[in-house]
Amino acid sequence: MHLRMDEQAPKEAQYAEEGPGPGIFRAKLEDQLRRPETQQQPISQTGCWRSVRRGYVLLGALGLLAGAGVGSWLLVLYLWPAASQPISGTLQDEEMTSSCSGASSEESPLPSLPKTVSFRVNSEGFLLEVQVKVRPAWLLVCHEGWSSAVGMQICRSLGHLRLTHHNGVTLSDIKLNSSQGFAQLTPRLGSVLEEVWQPRDNCTSGRVVSLKCSECGARPLASRIVGGQSVAPGRWPWQASVALGLRHTCGGSVLAPHWVVTAAHCMHSFRLSRLSSWRVYTGLVSHSAIRPHQGAVVERIIPHPLYSAQNHDYDIALLRLQMPLNFSDTVGAVCLPTKEQDFPGGSRCWVSGWGHTDPSHTHSSATLQDTVVPLLSTQLCNSSCVYSGALTPRMLCAGYLDGRADACQGDSGGPLVCPDGDTWRLVGVVSWGRGCAEPNHPGVYAKVAEFLDWIHDTAQQVR
Look at residue 43 and tell me if it is in a domain: no
pLDDT at 397: 95
Q: Is pLDDT at 62 greater than 50 in this prediction? A: yes
My answer on whether 399 and 337 are in the same domain is yes
| Cα dist from 338 to 115, 145, 378, 448, whole Å | 12, 24, 20, 10
Q: Write down the catalytic residue from 265, 287, 304, 361.
A: 265
Q: Is pLDDT at 53 greater than 60 in this prediction? A: no
Pairing, β 135-141 against β 182-186: parallel
pLDDT at 64: 57
My answer on whether 192 and 125 are in the same domain is yes
- Output the CA angle 103-92-68, nearest 5 degrees: 105
Tell me what the mean pLDDT of segment 125-147 comes to: 88
pLDDT at 67: 54
302, 331, 360 - which closes a domain: 331
pLDDT at 402: 84
Q: What is the pLDDT of residues 65-82, one digit of tens each?
A: 555 554 444 433 333 333
pLDDT at 101: 56
Q: Write down the catalytic residue from 214, 383, 412, 431.
A: 412
The total domain count for the chain is 3
Domain with residue 194: its CATH number is 3.10.250.10
Q: What is the pLDDT of residues 174-228, one digit of tens each?
A: 988 888 999 998 866 455 565 678 888 999 999 999 999 999 999 887 644 333 3
My answer on whether 365 and 430 are in the same domain is yes
Q: What is the pLDDT of residues 349-393, one digit of tens each?
A: 999 998 876 655 556 677 899 999 999 999 999 999 999 999 999
Q: Is 453 a catalytic residue?
A: no
Look at residue 68 and tell me if it is in a domain: no
pLDDT at 356: 77
% of the chain beyond a pLDDT of 70: 69
179, 213, 247 - which closes a domain: 213
My answer on whether 121 and 209 are in the same domain is yes
My answer on whether 368 and 268 are in the same domain is no
Q: Write down the catalytic residue from 93, 313, 315, 406.
A: 315
My answer on whether 286 and 356 are in the same domain is no
- The model carries a pTM of 0.76
pLDDT at 49: 36
Domain range for 20 is 2-28+333-448
pLDDT at 232: 84
Cα separation, 313 vs 228, in Å, equals 35
Q: Which of residues 284 and 78 earns the better pLDDT score?
A: 284
Q: Is 412 a catalytic residue?
A: yes
Q: How confident is the model at residue 115 (pLDDT cuts 50, 70, 90)?
A: low
Mean pLDDT of the chain: 77
Q: Is pLDDT at 104 greater than 80 in this prediction? A: no
Q: What is the pLDDT of residues 219-277, one digit of tens each?
A: 887 644 333 356 888 999 999 999 998 889 999 999 999 999 999 999 998 887 889 89
| Cα dist from 160 to 151, 152, 356, 425, whole Å | 11, 9, 32, 10
Look at residue 63 and tell me if it is in a domain: no
Look at residue 89 and tell me if it is in a domain: no
Residue 21, Cβ density class (10 Å: 0-12 exposed, 13-18 middle, ≥19 buried): buried
Q: Is pLDDT at 348 greater than 80 in this prediction? A: yes
My answer on whether 278 and 369 are in the same domain is no
Q: Is pLDDT at 138 greater than 90 in this prediction? A: yes
pLDDT at 364: 65
Q: Is 328 a catalytic residue?
A: no
pLDDT at 366: 79
Look at residue 157 and tell me if it is in a domain: yes
Tell me what the mean pLDDT of segment 311-326 comes to: 97
My answer on whether 255 and 357 are in the same domain is no
My answer on whether 296 and 384 are in the same domain is no
My answer on whether 158 and 169 are in the same domain is yes
Q: Report DSSP state, residue 80.
A: H
Half-sphere exposure of 113 (CA within 13 A, CB side): 6
pLDDT at 192: 56
DSSP labels, 238-252: TEEEEEETTEEEEEE
Q: Which of residues 274 and 405 earns the better pLDDT score?
A: 274
Look at residue 189 and tell me if it is in a domain: yes
Domain with residue 383: its CATH number is 2.40.10.10
Pairing, β 207-213 against β 415-420: unpaired
My answer on whether 342 and 323 are in the same domain is no
Cα separation, 117 vs 135, in Å, equals 10
Determine the residue type at 33.
L
331, 351, 378 - which closes a domain: 331
My answer on whether 122 and 169 are in the same domain is yes
% of the chain beyond a pLDDT of 90: 48
pLDDT at 438: 85
Look at residue 458 and tell me if it is in a domain: no
Look at residue 42 and tell me if it is in a domain: no
Q: Are 130 and 117 in contact (CB under 8 A)?
A: yes
